Amino acid sequence: MPLKIYTTKDTVPASTAGTGNVSTIGTQYTTVSDNQLQVGDWIYDAAQDEARKVVVVTDANNGNINKAFSADLSAVSLVIIKKNDAKISSISVSSPSGGASTIYELDGGTSAALPASTSVNYTASDLGQEFLNPISVDGTTNNATVFYKQKGVDY
């Protein structure tokens, strides 16, 4: 299982910077650089702690996401969680010591503090899903240790 120590805020699985910006109006998106998104990729907005799944790609710059962001994106830097990275079947997050870390459930916008010396586990099968939705972990105040298992990958 991959192991990552989070000392800042990022997604699980880790996000990657796209090229240029993305804007949304409801469930429609527009990018300024061609062919960066595929069906199954996620667009991540750190400011809102939300990610939305790409469900339709209509052309090189436009398509639809599964759900509108709480506030439409207006030319924000494109950050992507690639679909092949997002095939996560389980995630375990622990906050080993010091202050609390924060976990954000990106498809619902909810957050929860993870007190020091505790852990939380997410399993897709427990939720009746094939894959987990991405989450973000903020290890800025206190490092967070994250283990996750990608479906179909042997470790």
- For the stretch 87-131, pLDDT in tens is 888 888 887 765 566 777 766 656 666 666 777 787 888 777 788
Strand order in the sheet with 101-105: 9-12, 135-138, 101-105, 110-114
Measure the CA–CA gap between 16 and 34, rounded to whole angstroms.
16
The CATH number linked to 139 is 2.60.120
Mark which of 81, 100, 131 sits at the end of a domain. 81
Question: Per the domain annotation, does 155 fall within a domain?
Answer: no
Q: What is the DSSP string of 21-40?
A: EEEEETTEEEESSTT---TT
Domain that holds residue 23: 16-81
Question: Per the domain annotation, does 49 fall within a domain?
Answer: yes
pTM score of the predicted model: 0.85
- Domains of the chain: total: 2
Query: Residue with structure tokens 């120590």?
Result: 5
Kindly state whether residues 20 and 75 are assigned to the same domain.
yes
In a 13 Å sphere around the CA of 111, the CA atoms on its Cβ side amount to: 15
The tens digit of pLDDT for each residue in 54-78 reads: 999 999 999 999 999 999 999 999 9
Handedness of CA 70, 30, 14, 46 (dihedral sign): negative
Mark which of 81, 101, 131 sits at the end of a domain. 81
Mark which of 81, 96, 124 sits at the end of a domain. 81
